[in-house]
Amino acid sequence: MAKGNYSTITEFILLGLTDNPELEAILSCVFLLMYLVAALGNLGLIVLIQISPQLHTPMYFFLCHLAFVDFYGTSSITPNTLVNSLREIKSVSFYACATQVCCFITFSVWELLMLSVMAYDRYLAICHPLLYVVLMPRKLCIQMVTSSYIYGFTVGLVQAVATFHMSFCDSNVINQFYCDDVPLIALACSDTRFKELMVLFIAGFNVFCSLIIVLISYVFIVFAILRIPSSVGRQKAFSTCASHLLSITIYYGTLSFMYLQPKSSHSLGKDKFASVFYSIVIPMLNPLIYSLRNQEVKNALKKIIEKVHSSHH
């Protein structure tokens, strides 16, 4: 992302979440704890799925990649935020900022796509159980994940290049705890209309398409669950869907709040706290929502612990 004649700024200053040193210290400790939980939870889930033959199904294949996406996303933001909390001046170089913007947009798109793919997978498993193996072969799973990664990285790269081809000639202070598109647009002293339309269209398209897939999938899932004769089975299935929908609602809601509104409606101070949810909280919660409530995952973990315990003795 060559800077060329587009900008006279070589670094940016991050304001962080708060200008209160005592509160910042408390928040840093909370962020560190949440990051450790998110990192260990997602990496542990990936390892568990890989070494457990009973989890080698499409559902857990996608869950493994969701865990990777969550680990990647929070790792692209949180460690740098924690390091900056120890510094008096939270500076980041021009190119490091551009890289972080690219990484985080990529993560956001990947997360949307993985949630959509997992919803579609559950639709096939619940609504077409007899044809599930035929409709969701291993090759298709790999193709869906690979295309999601390629598309997400392409969107992140294109958006970052467009952002850092704007002119930043007045202020270099970003009202955020990481390099993010929205506050960077607010800093630009060149015409930002094209970039604003680009963010609105691409983000709107991605959120709308993925949300439509999720909603349609869950509508069919709900009707299928209602046809289950056992009340216990229905209750268990609805509980699982509620957990998934809770995660989806929080994620889609925060993304829409951040990006799908005009520049004049933005409150950058509020945006900082909204971004905490999908950069730190969601990656921490997803392993709990998608695995610890799942009996198959708990059984696989129990078998691994028993093996380790027996080999130790």
DSSP state of 5: T
Return the C-alpha torsion angle 144, 145, 147, 148, nearest 10.
Answer: 110
Cα 178 to Cα 98: distance, rounded to the nearest angstrom: 11
pLDDT given for residue 5 in this prediction: 41
User: No. of H helices and E strands in the chain?
Assistant: 12, 3
Question: In order of start, what are the domains of the chain with their CATH numbers?
Answer: 11-312 (1.20.1070.10)
Cα 191 to Cα 179: distance, rounded to the nearest angstrom: 20
Range of lowest pLDDT (74-78, 114-118, 127-131) = 127-131
Q: Higher confidence at residue 243 or residue 80?
A: 80
Q: What is the mean pLDDT of the chain?
A: 83
Does residue 145 contact residue 166 with C-beta atoms inside 8 Å? no
- Tell how strand 173-174 and strand 11-14 pair up: parallel
pLDDT given for residue 237 in this prediction: 66
Does residue 184 contact residue 174 with C-beta atoms inside 8 Å? yes
Cα 233 to Cα 219: distance, rounded to the nearest angstrom: 18
187, two tokens: 């800093």
Bridge partners (DSSP) of residue 14 are: 174
Cα 91 to Cα 111: distance, rounded to the nearest angstrom: 28
pLDDT tens digits for 184-229?
888 888 888 889 899 889 988 998 899 899 999 989 988 888 887 8
**Amino acid type, 261:** Q
SS3 content of the chain, % helix, strand, coil (to 5): 80, 5, 20
pLDDT given for residue 239 in this prediction: 65
Specify burial of residue 9 (Cβ count, 10 A radius: 0-12, 13-18, 19+). middle
Cα 10 to Cα 172: distance, rounded to the nearest angstrom: 9
Q: Looking at residues 93-122, what average pLDDT do you find?
A: 91
> Is the alpha carbon torsion for 280, 257, 272, 194 positive or negative?
positive
Model confidence at 1: pLDDT above 70 = no
Would you mind telling me the total number of residues written for the chain in this entry? 313
Identify which of 146, 151, 144 has the alpha carbon closest to the alpha carbon of residue 119.
144
pTM over 0.85: yes
Model confidence at 100: pLDDT above 80 = yes
- Looking at the chain, the whole-number percentage of residues with pLDDT higher than 90 is 31
- Model confidence at 256, in pLDDT bands (50, 70, 90)? low
Q: Higher confidence at residue 84 or residue 262?
A: 84
